[in-house]
Amino acid sequence: MRLSVILPTHNPDRERLRLTLAALWAQTLAATEWEAILVDNASDPAVDLAAYGDVAPANLRRISEPVPGLTFARIAGLNAGTGELVVFVDDDNVLAPDYLAECCECMAANPTVGAAGGKSLPGFTSPPPGWTTEFHDLLALRDLGEQTKIENATLRTVDLGRYPTYAPIGAGLVVRRSAIEPWLARLASDRANGSALADRRGRSLSSGGDNDLIFTLFLAGSAVAYFPRLKLRHLIPDARVTPKYLERLNRGIQRSWVQVLARHQANPWKPIPRWTVPLRKARAFLRTQAWKSPAHRIRWQGLCGRFEGLADLQTRRVNEHR
């Protein structure tokens, strides 16, 4: 089962990218069974693979995607790749040596699974404050234990528009190319009509692309899975565990999450007029006691992002009816 690794990067940290590439070089899966595609997504300066020649796998090639955005970079990688299985790797993910081999085995043994992930373990530059543990999921960290978990789409879950319990995250995500055709078709339609989903782009911390991919695939009938045999280390510098960064991250994630839910008819909240947003934020500031601690303020910022997302929906509705 041939496999494509797609590695988007934008102005990467050189040392973290070296570790990511070295982990690909160390994979136990025979190099003839997989390919690696580094998608240089509008980096300035452009990524020079020669600078990583001592650690990059021999089957790695670089392509360019000038339009900024994680989803655009992934599409470029998909168009360039040939694998039946696709593994999305971020430029700060250090895969376990058997990661790609385990992806092939797990997906071959579970033909109904369209997308899967595993353990994304922390690789902090230095130990973060204990209070940050609550927000590890915002940092794409995940450990659901040692049992395999598979969730199949059923009529009930599709009717409810419920996001799958074991939905994988983007780091180390493995998908079947055939299963993501509905997602690619929808993205092509979005691009044509100018309604692209908010996703990671430059310094923006919106991140709806991963969730949209999984939701589209799941509602199309594919199962999703958590395979604990898949392990990677997510490299997280000190700057990403500061209160300010986590505030921005939670706000961006919650705003784009509203958009994803609405896109799949699963949004439980009513759209709101934009003029009400400042008052709602002020009330939430008091309700969450945002002044008490960094954790309180990060929670409040998540609510702020939700209000902004709901206002975005209302604005879109108004524009559509003009």
Q: What is the pLDDT of residues 74-88, one digit of tens each?
A: 999 999 999 999 999
157 — pLDDT class (breaks 50, 70, 90): low
- Distance linking the first and last C-alpha atoms of the chain: 50
What is the length of the chain? 322
- What angle in degrees, to the nearest 10, is found between the helix axes of 70-80 and 209-219? 60
What is the pLDDT, as a whole number, of residue 223?
A: 95
Question: How far apart are alpha carbons 68 and 254 in whole angstroms?
Answer: 21
pTM strictly above 0.85: yes
Share of residues in the chain with pLDDT > 90 (%): 80
Q: What pLDDT, on a 0 to 100 scale, did the predictor assign at position 94?
A: 98
CA 167 to CA 172: how far, in whole Å? 13
Residue 242 in 3-state DSSP?
coil
45 preceded by a cis bond (ω within 30 of 0): yes
